[in-house]
Structure 1
Amino acid sequence: MLTFREITEDKAYWHPYLYLADDAHEDVRQYAEQGFLFVFEDSGEPVGVMLLIPQNAAVLEIKNIGLLDKARGKGFGRQMIEVAIETAKDRGYRTLEVGTANSSIDNLIFYQKVGFRMAAVKQNYFVKYDPPVYENGIYGKDMIVFRMELVSSEKE
């Protein structure tokens, strides 16, 4: 059973889990102290982390989801997204965002399956990465930004 807890101290301990989702270790070290860090455990054993960072008073970004390979395919990613949604709502955010590389085919599928909509493309976002991002035989240059509105608009 997947359980979670928020980490407020010694976030650096969890950096190796954040590196699972972001190869830019220096970037991770810079953003890891921001926002809300959650650790997810399966039967008491850590299997992943999720970092949520406020972008403004209305938007909360899923900055990083790091999940161990052995924990994939068990529905944990979907449960992590549910925690992100509830956290955002509980803390008064109206929109949840997440970005992933254009080459991350599994992520592109996953985020749409859990209810996100494509919202923007940040061209050349990943070109600074060394080594370059290559997945599925594709050079990951661009970030695809997904958005989920957490409050209904009057037009829906």
Structure 2
Amino acid sequence: MEWRLRWAGPGDAPALSLVAAATFLETFAGTIAGPDMVYHCTTNSSPAKFDRWIADDACVVTLAEHPDGAAPVGYTLLVPPDLPVETDEDDIELRRIYALSLTRGSGLGHRLMARALDDARALGRRRMLLGVLGINENARAFYEREGFTLAGTRQFRVGDTVYDDVVYARRL
């Protein structure tokens, strides 16, 4: 299947908010408490938040769409780094990379990552960082296949609960 990837623009925030909440729920149902997920999604994946990222020249938001009907099925978000590791102006953070489960095995995850790496290089960045839930073995295996290595740890709050994350890095 040929997924459509494009940079998000004005008007895309509602679609991004929808796919962000859906993918977060799919990924973490059974791991993160329901009320914490609802709070996290409504505060950190709101259309207003996506509008701000889309308007910010330091950020890049990519939307993946289904080829039949252009339904949002995934996205990435690149931002200036906010992680507890030493960073400089050559770094960028892949804050989010998510795709709906219906895309699993289709290569969309790799395509989203390749696009994020290309976008980071186009911004003049030389290293990409990301944080991931430490017990999310599937995501960790994906990042390691994509060339990321362990760079540190952090604690990450979702609602009322604090989780242990790992921080990965990759030279570009």
Query: Scaled by the length of structure 1, what TM-score is found?
Result: 0.79
Q: Aligned in 2, Cα 1:130/1:54: closer, same or farther, shift over 3 Å?
A: closer
Whether 2:39 is the aligned partner of 1:27: answer no
Q: Report the 3-state secondary structure (helix = DSSP H, G, I; strand = E; otherwise coil) of the residue aligned with 2:19.
A: helix
Cα offset, 1:11, TM superposition: 4.2
Query: Scaled by the length of structure 2, what TM-score is found?
Result: 0.72
Greater RCO (Cα-Cα under 8 Å, separation 6 or more): 2
Q: Percent identity?
A: 21
Cα offset, 1:90, TM superposition: 1.1
Report what 1:125 is aligned to.
156
Q: Aligned in 2, Cα 1:105/1:38: closer, same or farther, shift over 3 Å?
A: same
Q: Report the 3-state secondary structure (helix = DSSP H, G, I; strand = E; otherwise coil) of the residue aligned with 1:48.
A: strand
- Count of aligned pairs: 140
> What's the Cα RMSD here?
2.1
1:37 aligned residue (57, 61, 64)? 61
Report what 2:20 is aligned to.
18
Q: Any runs of at least 4 consecutive aligned residues in structure 1 with deviations exceeding 6 A, and if so which?
A: none
Q: Aligned in 2, Cα 1:21/1:95: closer, same or farther, shift over 3 Å?
A: farther
Q: What pairs up with 1:54-93 in 2 under 5 angstroms?
A: 54-55=80-81, 57-93=89-125
Unaligned runs of 5+ in 2: 26-36, 54-58, 82-87
Which structure has greater helix proportion? 2
Q: Aligned in 2, Cα 1:109/1:10: closer, same or farther, shift over 3 Å?
A: same
Q: Deviations over 1:33-56 (max 9, x none)?
A: 222111112425332111111226
